[in-house]
Amino acid sequence: MGDIEAPAAGATEARPNVLLSILPTKEFALSRKGLLLIAEVLLCFLAFVCFVASTAASFVTAPLLEFLTALFLLFAYSTKLNQRFTSFHWPLMDFLRCVSASIIFFVISIISVSKYSDGASKAAGVFGFIATIVFAFDFYIIFNDLADFLRRGGQPSEGQPGHTAHPRDDSSDDDSD
């Protein structure tokens, strides 16, 4: 019986390591991008659940797809999958995802709040409006990072990956010439 218990104890110790490799690291989860992705995942899930319970169930696909894509990007960024697959332009894909999500959530939120009268539709609309704001803030930040990247001529920043210097401060003297 001692031989049977030893592998079982080793197997239970290996399980937390597998689970920890799937979850985002504490550093990424507390970063600006990590917090935005976690907020997007949670808001999309809440909007999805509210749309499922409402009479506006025809809008259930949009929050589900945005939930899955935000969850995938949360996993990809937290496991540094984006650094292993460099053939994709990850910030541009993330930018397009945020722009489309903010437009879609804005439209379906307006329709669900104005056309349907049940409480679940109203709640889905409210979560959709909050998700619109979060997605719009995310694409604003990504746009600024992409514009800064293009101003530098495609050279990566020397600071932290999420931190960019304000190019207006550096180029303010150039405009006065």
Give the per-residue pLDDT at 63: 95
What's the rounded mean pLDDT across residues 69-80? 88
CB-CB contact of 111 with 56 (8 Å): yes
Check pLDDT > 60 for residue 161: no
Residues 89, 136: Cα–Cα separation, whole Å: 20
Residues 51, 112: Cα–Cα separation, whole Å: 9
* Within-domain flag for 12: no
* Within-domain flag for 138: yes
* Within-domain flag for 1: no
What's the rounded mean pLDDT across residues 151-169? 56
Q: Is the dihedral of CA 34, 35, 37, 38 positive or negative?
A: positive
* Within-domain flag for 97: yes
Give the per-residue pLDDT at 28: 79
Determine the residue type at 94.
D
Give the per-residue pLDDT at 167: 43
Give the per-residue pLDDT at 22: 65
* Within-domain flag for 8: no
Residues 16, 10: Cα–Cα separation, whole Å: 11
* Within-domain flag for 160: no
* Within-domain flag for 78: yes
**Out of 15-19, 65-69, 74-78, which region has the weakest mean confidence (pLDDT)?**
15-19
Which tens digits make up the pLDDT trace of 90-104? 888 899 999 999 999
Give the per-residue pLDDT at 149: 81
Check pLDDT > 50 for residue 86: yes
Q: How confident is the model at residue 171 (pLDDT cuts 50, 70, 90)?
A: very low
Which tens digits make up the pLDDT trace of 13-36? 555 566 566 677 777 778 888 899
* Within-domain flag for 89: yes
Q: How many domains does the chain have?
A: 1
CB-CB contact of 162 with 33 (8 Å): yes
Check pLDDT > 70 for residue 61: yes
Q: What is the domain extent for residue 144?
A: 24-154
Which tens digits make up the pLDDT trace of 103-156? 999 999 999 999 998 999 999 999 999 999 999 999 999 999 888 888 888 776
